[in-house]
Amino acid sequence: MAETRLNENRIASTTVVTAGDSAYAWGAIMLVASMRMSGMRHPVVVGAMEWPDEMKRRIVSLGDVSVVNLPATRQCVACQKPIMMANDAVKTDWVCWADADGMFVGDCSEWLSGEDADEIVIRKYSPVPPDFTPENLEIWRRDVERVCGRALAKSRYDTRVNTAFIIVNRKWRPFLARWKRQLDSVLPSDVGIIMQHGTAYFQTDESVLASLLCFDPEAPMVTENYKANGSADPSRYFAHFAYNPKPWQMWNKYATRWRDLAYSAADWLVAGGFAKKSDIPHSLRRSWWPLYRCLTPAAPQIWRAMKLKRKYFG
């Protein structure tokens, strides 16, 4: 009984937030489906940029999901993370950002609120990424000082962070505002998911957040107890697909480890009446796996060619 009350309190204290343009609508739906089919009843807020009405209705039907319409922009939707995490639609003490190209494995309710309101729950990179250089750190320090008014003389951390999964207490809304202000200050208005190698902000939103965590004197401390990667329980974690193409588009070799999870979520959507089988993308239907298995080794190249075709020939 005590454990049940504890789980209920965790659900009541955290909102899961995600966002994406229309190309990520199915990703967001699969993310929420992975929560609901595992018993995670947390409220969800979804930032939708140019989504068809049908996809908005579908994700809302999953229960306790609010949709925030994001204005169309040439800037990568990832740069909307701080706005979404600080959005007034979030009513709970804690907010958990989860990328729309990820899914929860098992019931991860236990990991969705922090242990200390003064900390941000986020994964540090190990090993240290190649763009974490003294030259880039100095650029970060100068930019933080210019935008925030002051900066630490030396970085707090010896590596940067991954922003696919973040948990922070709502007391840090001023910090989230600084993250957005810093994004707008140092990144182009039409920036994509990544910038060219050799820049201090190669990983865009991720690099900017890292600069603040390293040098902003008023930033939250990074937790040493990050558990959403399965380190606490390998049967419960946040799975991040990371690379293109995404599973609802085509299967790449990295993502195939979560093929059964994605198929199970798609089956759950159909069984629950949230989607017809004909609505489900072909790559998420078990019967199509023989074809996608053959395409998997060349999937990144095929997907890149398809994107170029759409860009130049419609």
pLDDT digits (tens, 9 = 90+) for 12-44: 699 999 999 999 999 999 999 999 999 999 999
Lateral strand order in the sheet of 161-169? 65-70, 44-49, 14-21, 94-98, 161-169, 119-124, 221-222
**The predicted structure's pLDDT at residue 254:** 96
**The predicted structure's pLDDT at residue 76:** 86
**The predicted structure's pLDDT at residue 199:** 83
**The predicted structure's pLDDT at residue 87:** 97
60 has a pLDDT exceeding 90: yes
Three-state SS annotation for 226-281: CCCCCCCCCCCEEEECCCCCCCCCCCCCCHHHHHHHHHHHHHHHHHCCCCCHHHCC
* C-beta of residue 118 within 8 angstroms of C-beta of residue 242: no
Q: Which two tokens stand for residue 75?
A: 């800037």
CA distance linking residue 293 with residue 300, whole number of Å: 13
CA distance linking residue 197 with residue 144, whole number of Å: 21
Q: Which two tokens stand for residue 50?
A: 């140019």
* CATH number for the domain whose boundaries are 2-222: 3.90.550
pLDDT digits (tens, 9 = 90+) for 232-270: 999 999 999 999 999 999 999 999 999 999 999 999 999
- pTM of this prediction? 0.93
What are the start and end residues of each CATH 3.90.550 domain in the chain? 2-222
Radius of gyration for the alpha carbons in the chain, expressed in angstroms and rounded: 19
* C-beta of residue 4 within 8 angstroms of C-beta of residue 109: no
pLDDT digits (tens, 9 = 90+) for 104-163: 999 999 999 999 999 999 999 999 999 899 999 999 999 999 999 999 999 999 999 999
1 has a pLDDT exceeding 90: no
